[in-house]
Chain A
Amino acid sequence: MNRRQILFAALLVAAAGAGVHGQTRPATTVPAPATRPAGVSQAEIMAQVADLELYAPSRSQAGTIRALGTSPFTHVLHNWAAEYRRLQPRVGFDIHPGTSDEPMAALTAGRIDLAALSRPPAPAEIAAFKKKHGYEPTALVVGVGAVALYVNHRNPLKSISLAQLDALYGREPRRGGAKVERWGDLGLTGAWAALAPARLGRPARRADNDLFKALVLGGGEFRLDIREESMPSSLVQGVGANPAAVGFASIAFVTPAVRVLTVEGDDGVVHPLTRDTCLAGEYPLARQLRLYVNRPPGKPLGELVQDFAWFASSHYGQQLVAEAGLFPINRALERQNNDKLK
């Protein structure tokens, strides 16, 4: 045994001793990520909310605000509540998440003060509210979101039309397209052409699912071979982990492992998913995040709810919207909200 072998053996023995007795917790150093998980920098967020009003309360508020919302809107509600309580410490919150059909029903029943919806209410929901109260609920637009179409970051597909989406996800496509069984049916070539898409979707009674079903499938049924992911972040990860996968979920959960497709609308124009195209209503799967309140015509809204709604629309409230991965409103929408709150 030469000196080198002896030294190596000594090192191994020392290492073994250190490992057994030291209970070391090794650091798993990861190469630095290319982008932040949410994909939006703080500077971009500040630029988006730069022209919005600052919340400057003139008096202290007290009481409890009850709210029910759908995901990911509920999370924004929680963030608003936490920050609002720092400014108005005597205000409490009772916030609950719910399925997409619960908030409006709860507002109609008078169980909550705020219904947070990330899809337009169904006519039946409005009718039910009107039937009980004699007027329609007041809607405040406090953010903009969108259902994004995700493919794996290696997938070369750039754009997809609503008809192709219908053919990809619909059990009986209603937009005239033939069913998509291979990526080649969507125009991919080479090795991709023969690959079958792995479809991921959201469970029923989730806002993403409802919106997709209404706007893409025209109310039709989803295919039976869609793998449902109850958590949107898990759906996005499922797409990032499988090169053949495709899925739809809120834009809030975008990661570097996936790519968001541009969508060709019924107008034949291809729209990227950006804040501007969503605010302008050009991106076909954009949705406004609305707070619904019960305000009788000609009567003022409760002071506490009014103050909180002002905070939500303000510069800081919208910064929290952006930090949750959604898009903040613009100055025009903020003015509309303020007019409705007067």
Chain B
Amino acid sequence: MNRFLLVLACSLIVAGSGCASGPGESKAEKARRLSVAELDNAIDAYADRYTVLIGSAVDQIKANNPDAGQRRLAHRIKLSGLLAMNDIASSDDPYTQTLDLLVMVTLQSHIWIDELGAERAFGDRAPILVQALRQARVEAWQLAARVMTDEQLDTVDFLIWDWRRKNPGIEQVEFVKFEGVGGTRGSGVVTELRSGGGFLAPITETNAELRQYRRLAERAFWYGKRAPSIAGIQAEAAANEILAAPEVGALIGSINRTSEAADRVSQSVAAFPQTIERERKAAVAALDERTGTLKDLMGQATQLTGSVERVTANLNSLAKNVDSFVEKNSSKPGDPPAPPGRPFDITEYGTTAGKVNDLVRGLNQLTENTDRLSQSQGWRGGLHELSDAADRRVRFVFTNIYIALGLGFVLAVCYRFIATRLAARRPR
């Protein structure tokens, strides 16, 4: 059956290419007339050309484009155009094929070029799509000019323009057909074309039927060749649409957020030992540091206290020794005569020398303790505070003196001024 269809298709291609031409035609008209088979080939070629033009433009817009909305919209344009063009190319009526092709490409270019749709949607990347759609339109009308008169083209152009004017809100124009655009006047154009009123060779009932069989076989090849790429483009578009749906976006957002939260928890748990160890070390280090400081403070305080006690003790001891020495070695007038002295006793001398020695040692100790006291932070802090207070006091006193001098000078000047004025008023 398949072989039969193939043979039938091949024979019909040959038969279809020799369509009859109208009687009484000039040579020029005959030469310009296009057979239906030629038109079929031209439309198939145009469909592929359109796919390449728009596909390349869309790929360029999508390449390295950070805007997901632009990428999605560009892909939709590609898919819509491709599907619409396949619909047209696989149609079995050459007249409506040509007219539908004009309507689709022209309306698409109206929206994206004339109404600045590309500029609004793609910004700086718009010229890529604009040039592609413009080229597609020019080539579509060149193709139509091979089968339609200038007047017919003019009418179709106006009908498309008029339809768009009356339907400014329709956005999905890729699937608008000439039947819906042309109305009564459009039907007139189709009737005129069918009756040989253009440059397309008239189609008789017989060759129309044969053509349908041929197109059936050709359409199978057509779709067979293009199906994989169409499916791929559709899959990408569908994925885009699904991912762009608000519900899916919310779902993915939730999943992302949950996942991120889980990641954070897991990272926190994993980091527990290190965190605890780090915190412990930090706490110990802080404690050590404070303990050290405290110890230093305590040591200093103890030292200071010890030094003061020692100085006090030394002073007491020194005072006692001095008293004892003076008492021993001096007498006041009027005092009762001293009892007769005892004879020189080397032991006493030794004892005294020992006490002098103790006194000197006590003085040395006092000096050392005084040094320590003066070097201690508390003593220095006190001295520093005392010094500051004295400085402040001195500055205060001098400031007051300067102010008093200034006031005195001002008063003197005032006095002089008033005295001069009063002297001037006194009658002579």
- Interface set of A (CB-CB < 8 Å, partner B): 2-4, 7, 11-12, 14-16, 18-20, 22-31, 33-34, 36-38, 71-72, 74-75, 78, 82, 96-98, 153, 230-234, 236-238, 240-241, 253, 255-257, 323-325
Instruction: Report if A16-B238 is in contact (Cβ < 8 Å); known contacts: A3-B255, A31-B120, A75-B158.
Output: yes
Contact B110 A25 (CB under 8 A): no
**Cross-interface CB contact of B158 among A34, A36, A72, cutoff 8 Å:** A72
Task: Give residues 128-177 of B contacting A (CB, 8 Å).
Answer: 130-131, 134, 137-138, 141, 145, 150-151, 153-155, 157-158, 160-162, 164-165, 168, 171-172, 174-175
Q: Could you say which of B111-119, B210-218, B335-343, B359-367 contacts chain A?
A: B111-119
Main DSSP-derived SS at the B contact region: helix
Instruction: Report if A257-B116 is in contact (Cβ < 8 Å); known contacts: A37-B110, A234-B141.
Output: yes
Q: Which residues of A contact B137 (CB under 8 A)?
A: 234, 237
Contact B158 A3 (CB under 8 A): no
Contact B158 A11 (CB under 8 A): no
Contact B141 A97 (CB under 8 A): no
Q: Which residues of B contact A19 (CB under 8 A)?
A: 231, 234-239
- The minimal Cβ–Cβ distance linking B61 to chain A, given in whole angstroms, is 13
14 sample A-B contacts, Cβ–Cβ < 8 Å, listed by A number: A7-B255, A19-B237, A26-B237, A27-B76, A27-B172, A28-B76, A28-B174, A29-B73, A30-B121, A36-B165, A97-B155, A233-B160, A237-B110, A240-B114
Contact B153 A29 (CB under 8 A): no
Alpha-carbon separation in the docked complex, A29 to B69 (Å): 11
The 3 closest A-B pairs by CB, nearest first: A19-B234, A19-B238, A15-B239
Interface core residue of A14, A71, A241, A325 (most chain B CB under 10 Å): A241
Q: Which residues of A contact B154 (CB under 8 A)?
A: 71, 74, 97, 230-231
Contact A30 B117 (CB under 8 A): yes
Alpha-carbon separation in the docked complex, A26 to B115 (Å): 20
Q: Which residue of A lies closest to B145 (CB)?
A: A230
Instruction: Report if A234-B172 is in contact (Cβ < 8 Å); known contacts: A30-B111, A37-B115, A257-B116.
Output: no
Alpha-carbon separation in the docked complex, A177 to B81 (Å): 47
Q: Which residue of B lies closest to A39 (CB)?
A: B165
Q: Which residue of A lies closest to B164 (CB)?
A: A37
User: Count of B residues near A, CB < 8 Å?
Assistant: 59
Task: Give residues 219-274 of B contacting A (CB, 8 Å).
Answer: 231, 234-239, 241-243, 248, 252, 255-256, 259
Assess whether B77 is interfacial by the CB under 8 Å rule: yes
Q: Which residue of B lies closest to A154 (CB)?
A: B119
Q: Which residues of B contact A34 (CB under 8 A)?
A: 115-116
Contact B114 A78 (CB under 8 A): no
Contact B80 A230 (CB under 8 A): no
Q: Which residue of B lies closest to A2 (CB)?
A: B259
Contact B255 A25 (CB under 8 A): no
- The minimal Cβ–Cβ distance linking B252 to chain A, given in whole angstroms, is 8
Contact B235 A241 (CB under 8 A): no
**Cross-interface CB contact of A15 among B106, B153, B160, B235, cutoff 8 Å:** B235
Interface core residue of B154, B158, B168, B184 (most chain A CB under 10 Å): B158
Assess whether B49 is interfacial by the CB under 8 Å rule: no
Apart from A4-B256, A37-B115: 11 A-B pairs, beta carbons within 8 A: A4-B255, A19-B238, A22-B238, A26-B80, A27-B76, A27-B171, A31-B117, A38-B165, A72-B158, A231-B141, A256-B116
Alpha-carbon separation in the docked complex, A153 to B154 (Å): 25
**Cross-interface CB contact of A234 among B80, B138, B234, B259, cutoff 8 Å:** B138
- The minimal Cβ–Cβ distance linking B145 to chain A, given in whole angstroms, is 8
Assess whether B83 is interfacial by the CB under 8 Å rule: yes
Assess whether B109 is interfacial by the CB under 8 Å rule: yes
**Cross-interface CB contact of A75 among B79, B162, B174, B248, cutoff 8 Å:** B162
- The minimal Cβ–Cβ distance linking A225 to chain B, given in whole angstroms, is 17
Alpha-carbon separation in the docked complex, A231 to B130 (Å): 18
Contact A96 B151 (CB under 8 A): yes
Assess whether B384 is interfacial by the CB under 8 Å rule: no
Q: Which residues of B contact A22 (CB under 8 A)?
A: 234, 238
Contact A240 B255 (CB under 8 A): no
Contact B259 A3 (CB under 8 A): yes
**Cross-interface CB contact of B243 among A11, A24, A33, cutoff 8 Å:** A11
**Cross-interface CB contact of B171 among A18, A25, A28, A236, cutoff 8 Å:** A28
Contact B76 A255 (CB under 8 A): no
**Cross-interface CB contact of A238 among B73, B134, B238, cutoff 8 Å:** B134
Alpha-carbon separation in the docked complex, A323 to B162 (Å): 9
Q: Which residue of A lies closest to B240 (CB)?
A: A15
